[in-house]
Amino acid sequence: MTPLDYEYLRKALKDRSGLDLSLDKQYLVESRLLPLARRLGLTNISDLVQKMKNGAEQTTAEVVEAMTTNETFFFRDKLPFDHLRDEILPALLQARAGRRSLRIWCAASSTGQEPYSIAMCLKELGPAVAGWRFEIIATDLSQSVLEKSKSGLFTQFEVQRGLPIQLLVKYFKQTGELWEISPELRAMIQHRQFNLLQDYTQLGTFDVIFCRNVLIYFDQPTKISIFERLAKRLEPDGYLALGAAETVVGLTEAFKPHATRRGIYLPNTKSPSIVPAAKPLGQVAGLRAG
Partner 1 sequence: MKTCLVVDDSSVIRKVARRILEGLEFEIVEAEDGEKALELCKNQLPDAVLLDWNMPVMDGYEFLRNLRRMPGGDQPKVVFCTTENDVAHIARALHAGANEYIMKPFDKDIVTAKFQEVGLI
Q: Residues 104, 286: contact at Cβ < 8 Å? A: no
For partner 1, the closer of residues 59 and 110 by Cβ is 110
Ordered strands of the 178-181 beta sheet: 153-154, 178-181, 172-175
164 versus 290: smaller Cβ distance to partner 1: 164
Site for partner 1 in 38-97 (CB under 8 A): 73, 78
The Cα 95–Cα 280 span in angstroms is 15
Tell me which of 5, 16, 140, 186 is the catalytic residue: 140
Secondary structure of residue 103 in the 3-state scheme: strand
Is 219 among the residues known to form the active site? no
Give CA–CA dist 180/265, Å, rounded: 33
Task: Please choose, from the candidates 231, 290, 284, the residue with its C-alpha nearest in 3D space to the C-alpha of residue 256.
Answer: 231
From candidates 41, 127, 157, 250, binder to partner 1 by CB under 8 A: 157
Q: Could you give the 3-state DSSP secondary structure of residue 108?
A: coil
Q: Is 276 strand, coil or helix?
A: coil
3-state secondary structure at position 104 = strand
Figure out which of the listed residues 174, 198, 201, 220 binds partner 1, where binding follows CB under 8 A.
Answer: 174
Closer to partner 1 at the Cβ: 90 or 164?
A: 164
Angle between helices 3-17 and 45-53 (to 10 degrees): 50
Q: Which of 26, 70, 160, 247 binds partner 1 (CB under 8 A)?
A: 160
- Stretch near partner 1 under the rule CB under 8 A, chosen from 166-174, 231-239, 273-281, 282-290: 166-174
Q: Determine which residue in the list 23, 165, 259, 277 makes contact with partner 1, applying CB under 8 A.
A: 165
Distance in Å, CB of 129 to partner 1, minimum: 25
Residue closer to partner 1 by CB (options 238, 243) is 243
59 labelled ligand-binding: no
Q: If phi over 0 gives left and psi between -120 and 50 gives alpha, with beta otherwise, what is residue 274?
A: beta
Check binding of 155 to partner 1 (CB under 8 A). no
Residue 169 touches partner 1, criterion: CB under 8 A: yes
Q: SS3 helix, strand, coil % of the chain, rounded to 5? A: 50, 20, 35
- Please state, in angstroms and as integers, the Cα–Cα distance from residue 280 to each residue in 134, 142, 228, 284, 285, following that order: 20, 33, 19, 6, 9
Decide if 141 contacts 112 (C-beta within 8 A). no
The distance of closest approach from Cβ of residue 29 to partner 1 in the complex, given in angstroms and rounded to an integer, is 25
Is there a catalytic annotation at residue 140?
A: yes
Catalytic residue among 32, 96, 161, 229: 32
Question: According to the binding rule CB under 8 A, does residue 161 interact with partner 1?
Answer: yes
Tell me: is residue 139 an annotated ligand-binding position: no
Stretches 50-58, 129-137, 157-165, 205-213: which one binds partner 1 (CB under 8 A)?
A: 157-165
Q: Which residues in this chain contact partner 1 in the complex, by CB under 8 A?
A: 73, 78, 156-157, 160-162, 164-166, 168-169, 173-174
Catalytic residue numbers, as ranges? 32, 140
